[in-house]
Structure 1
Amino acid sequence: MAEQNTGWTGGQKAFGDFAPGLVHYTDKILFDEVWEREALAKRDRSLVTISALTALGKTDQLVFHLDYARQNGVTDDELKEAILQLAFYTGWPNGMAAMTVLKNIVEKEN
């Protein structure tokens, strides 16, 4: 795969010089390489990521990734439906927590 650079700086913004290794792997490997692979659209990568984070109950990370999914073309109605489906497979509390994160994002925007 040809080296690409999307200019992603989320890791740098989060950690600066505090955790240079984590910054490198987040910005250069995860977002510049993995998220840019052509085998899955970013929209699909977002849905996969949201599924994993919901299953694991990682609501801090869901704050970013639910909003990122919206930027990647996933509608709010699709996110609600995905989270409803996930609630049955990942546990009701995880589904409720994920839906709360989405609700807060949508309400904050409005």
Structure 2
Amino acid sequence: MSETAQQSAAQKMLGTFAPKLVSLTDDVLFADVWERADLAPRDRSLITIAALVAGSNSEQLPFHLNLGKQNGLTQAEIVEAITHLAFYTGWPRAMSAVAAAKQTFEG
């Protein structure tokens, strides 16, 4: 396997440009926080997707939608969560998020 195939998403995106941020992402966020036992990965994914929608952080959404799928979230659950969020976070944010979800599930 090549070195590139073994790199994390953060390493691929940022390389050596921001090594501390890559390290925190890989070693603290994903190797520690995401692995804590008090919330299941599926629940963490749902919370993260909701936070990204609420914060209008659509650039991070495709990664987390795919991770949510891997963690057991269904298309129906993600669409329902985004629909619910439309009333609390704003219609444009929900429309952008559901478009990203459509691409994730149909792409």
TM exceeding 0.5: yes
Taking only aligned residues, the RMSD between alpha carbons, in angstroms, comes to: 1.3
Residue aligning to 2:86: 87
- Say whether the 8 Å CA contact 1:8–1:28 is kept in structure 2: no
Q: TM-score, normalised by structure 2?
A: 0.91
Residue aligning to 2:73: 74
| Amino acid aligned to 1:55 | A
SS state at 2:73 partner: coil
Instruction: Supply the distance in 2 between the matched residues of 1:58 and 1:16 (Cα, whole angstroms).
Output: 21
Residue aligning to 1:65: 64
SS state at 1:86 partner: helix
Query: Identity across aligned pairs (percent)?
Result: 52
Shift of 1:8: 7.6
Instruction: Supply the distance in 1 between the matched residues of 2:11 and 2:88 (Cα, whole angstroms).
Output: 34
Instruction: Supply the distance in 1 between the matched residues of 2:7 and 2:48 (Cα, whole angstroms).
Output: 17
SS state at 2:61 partner: helix
Instruction: Give runs of ≥4 in structure 1 deviating > 2 Å.
Output: none
Residue aligning to 2:23: 24
Per-residue CA deviation, residues 20-78 of structure 1 (Å, 9 max, x unaligned), is 01110000000000000001000000011011100011111001111110010000011
Structure 1 unaligned residues grouped into runs of 5+: 1-6
Number of positions where the alignment pairs a residue of Structure 1 with one of Structure 2? 102
Structure 2 unaligned residues grouped into runs of 5+: 1-5
SS state at 1:40 partner: coil
